[in-house]
Structure 1
Amino acid sequence: MKALPTAPQEMPLDRRMKSQRLQDAVPHCSLSCFFWKKMAGLLLVTCTYIIDVSAFRIQRLESTETCQDHTTYFKQYFVLRGEPVILKCPSFKYKHLDFSSHPYNLTWSKNDSEMMRPGEDEKPRIWAQGDALWFLPASLEDSGQYICTRRNSSHCADVSIHLTVFEKNAAHAISYPQILITCTSGKLVCPDLGDFIQKETDLELKWYKDSVLVGEDDIKFKTLKGTNFLYINSVSARDSGYYTCEMAFTYGGEQYNITRTILLKTLDQEKRFRPAIIYPDKNTTLAVLDSKLILPCKVFIGSSNHFHTNVMWLANDTYVDITYKQGRVTEGERLEIVENDENYIEVPLVFDPVREIDFYTDFKCEAQNSYGRQVLPTRVRQEASSALWHIAVVPVALTCLILGGLCMHKCWKQKAGNGYSLAKS
Structure 2
Amino acid sequence: MINVIGLGYIGLPTALMMAAHGVEVIGTDYNKELVNTLNAGKTTFKEEGMDRLFDQAVDGGIKFSTEYQVTDIYIISVPTPYDEFSKKVDTKYVKAAVKSVMEVCTKGAIVVIESTIAPGTIDKHVRPIVEANGFTIGEDLNLVHAPERIIPGNMVYELLNNNRTIGADDIVIGEKIKELYGSFCQGEIVVTDIRTAEMTKVVENTFRDINIAYANELAKICRSDDMDVYEIIKIANMHPRVNILTPGPGVGGHCISVDPWFLVGDYPGLANIVLAARKINDSMPEFVLERMHEIMKDTGMTDVSRVGLYGLAYKENVDDMRESPTLQILNSMDKHLSGNLVKVYDPYIKKDVVPNQLHDLDDFLNSIDFVVLLVGHNEIKESMYKLKGKVVLDTRHICELEGTYGL
**Structure exhibiting the larger radius of gyration computed from Cα positions:** 1
Query: Which one scores higher on RCO, CA 8 angstroms, separation ≥ 6?
Result: 1
TM range (shorter): under 0.3
Query: What TM-score do the two structures reach when normalised by structure 1?
Result: 0.24
Which has more helix, going by share of residues? 2
Larger strand proportion of the pair: 1
